[in-house]
Structure 1
Amino acid sequence: MDRLQEFFAANTFLVLVFAGLTVALVVNEIRLRFRPFKAVSPAQLTRLINDEDALVIDLRGNAEYERGHIIGARHVLPSELSPEHRVLAKLGKDKPVVLVCAGGLVSSGVATKLAKAGFTRVAVLDGGIGAWQGASLPLAKGKA
């Protein structure tokens, strides 16, 4: 026990960094478990599209969307997408909505906003369009 105390005294900075990282990891895991939407893999997204006619919304910029998007995906910029948007107004709030962006960061923020507005089946494509391409799934090119 004395050696452990000696180690802590000699390496206080490293011990504090380790403790801080541990706390950050735990907090991040708790946040992920209690977020109001779920992340889906490319395979799960394919099932949602085929079995439940999920609405896929691509949040990337115009140029990225035109270079390649998931077949049937609607293109809406994040700044334009609100719970009252015309694409969402036609849906019931319990129909699956899957948001896609380049890497998953933008879609997470929009998904939280939709979930707070009452949409019960909101998801994001885990890893974004890169994960879709990584799974060798097809992309459509051109405008919507």
Structure 2
Amino acid sequence: MKTEQVGDGILETWTVDEVAEAFDKNEIVLVDVRTPQEFMFEHVEGALLMPLAFFKAEKLPGQSDKRIVFHCGSGVRSERVARAALDAGFGRVAHMEGGFGAWKGAKKPYIGTNMATGAPHLVS
């Protein structure tokens, strides 16, 4: 994990493996900031959706029980959202390096769309 001091807060950049391990242990909440269309087509099973276009840091829960880790398609939007959360007063915020593309590249499981039927299915 890489860390960067941003004002009074800390921005953490987690690797796909770090996110997958913490997510499997239920230690984090994974928040997808892609569009609803991107999420519907494919997403990490169990991730929550809060699109960048509708992001409101003040609506996020605290992180006393579980850490929040943001992700997007490539890591650009999730870093933007993480920085916005820091600007809103969060002390420590994380995002996943490389985004969903890196997740798929690392062969982590996700929910995809069967192009023949349009039905969701597990891709592992």
Correspondence for 1:48:
22
| Residue 111 (str. 1) matches residue 85 (str. 2) | no
Verify the 8 A CA contact 1:93 1:120 in the aligned structure 2.
Answer: no
1:58 offset after TM fit, Å?
Answer: 0.8
Work out the CA distance in 1 between the residues paired with 2:92 and 2:68: 6
Of the two, which has the highest radius of gyration?
A: 1
1:64 offset after TM fit, Å?
Answer: 1.3
- Give the 3-state SS of the residue equivalent to 2:37 in structure 1: helix
Correspondence for 1:65:
39
Letter in 1 for 2:102: A
Letter in 2 for 1:92: G
- Give the 3-state SS of the residue equivalent to 2:104 in structure 1: helix
1:84 offset after TM fit, Å?
Answer: 2.3
1:43 offset after TM fit, Å?
Answer: 0.9
| Residue 92 (str. 1) matches residue 62 (str. 2) | yes
Verify the 8 A CA contact 2:30 2:70 in the aligned structure 1.
Answer: yes
TM-score after normalising by structure 2? 0.75
Correspondence for 2:116:
none
Residues 93 and 119 of structure 1: CA distance in aligned 2, closer, same or farther (over 3 Å): farther
Letter in 1 for 2:82: A
Residues 123-143 of structure 1 deviation map (CA, whole Å, 9 limit, x = unaligned): 11100101000110011245x
Question: Mind listing any 5+ residue stretches in structure 1 that lack a counterpart?
Answer: 1-31
Work out the CA distance in 2 between the residues paired with 1:63 and 1:83: 22
Correspondence for 1:37:
11
Correspondence for 2:50:
76
Over the residues paired in the alignment, what is the CA RMSD in angstroms?
1.9
Residues 104 and 129 of structure 1: CA distance in aligned 2, closer, same or farther (over 3 Å): same
Higher share in helix? 1
TM-score after normalising by structure 1? 0.65
Residues 33 and 122 of structure 1: CA distance in aligned 2, closer, same or farther (over 3 Å): closer
Higher share in strand? 2
Question: Mind listing any 5+ residue stretches in structure 2 that lack a counterpart?
Answer: 113-119
